[in-house]
Structure 1
Amino acid sequence: MRTNIVLDEKLVSRAMKLAGVKTKREAVHVALHAFVRTRARLDIRKVYGIGGLDPAYDYKKMRAG
């Protein structure tokens, strides 16, 4: 999809260097992929919780049967 947007030139230059890309188009593409990947991960955490162990979990009791 072709579109015109106004971008902060310094921010774009920095993003291009960090991403190791040569064009603004590539920089925007990389940034959008990173954004979507991060947001998708956050959505999964909402569904399944942050993770870790329940402080009340007693592995010794579980092993004893």
Structure 2
Amino acid sequence: MRTNIVIDDELMVEAMQASGLKTKRETVEAALRLLARRSRQAGALYLFGKIDWKGDLDAERRDDPEPTRRP
């Protein structure tokens, strides 16, 4: 999607330096990805402690799936 926006020059320079990215486009896209990821994480945190799971987590961690056999 092509979009024209006005961004504070100092903020852009600071973000590019902080991220190590070379272009404004990369920097804006990285910032948007970060914002979207943080929003998804906040949604997951909302569920923390609200889902009742019964099982043995240690056993689940130890169980190895059967190796995949190829003909």
TM-score (norm 1): 0.70
CA distance in 2, matches of 1:45, 1:31: 21
Find runs of 4+ consecutive structure 1 residues off by over 3 angstroms: none
Aligned partner of 1:57 in structure 2 is: none
One-letter amino acid of the counterpart of residue 19, structure 1: S
Aligned partner of 2:63 in structure 1 is: none
Q: Taking every aligned residue pair, what percent have the same amino acid on both sides?
A: 43
What runs of 5+ residues in structure 1 fail to find an aligned partner?
50-65
1:47, distance to aligned residue in structure 2 (A): 2.0
One-letter amino acid of the counterpart of residue 46, structure 2: K
TM-score (norm 2): 0.65
CA distance in 2, matches of 1:47, 1:4: 37
Matched, 1:47 2:47: yes
One-letter amino acid of the counterpart of residue 23, structure 2: T
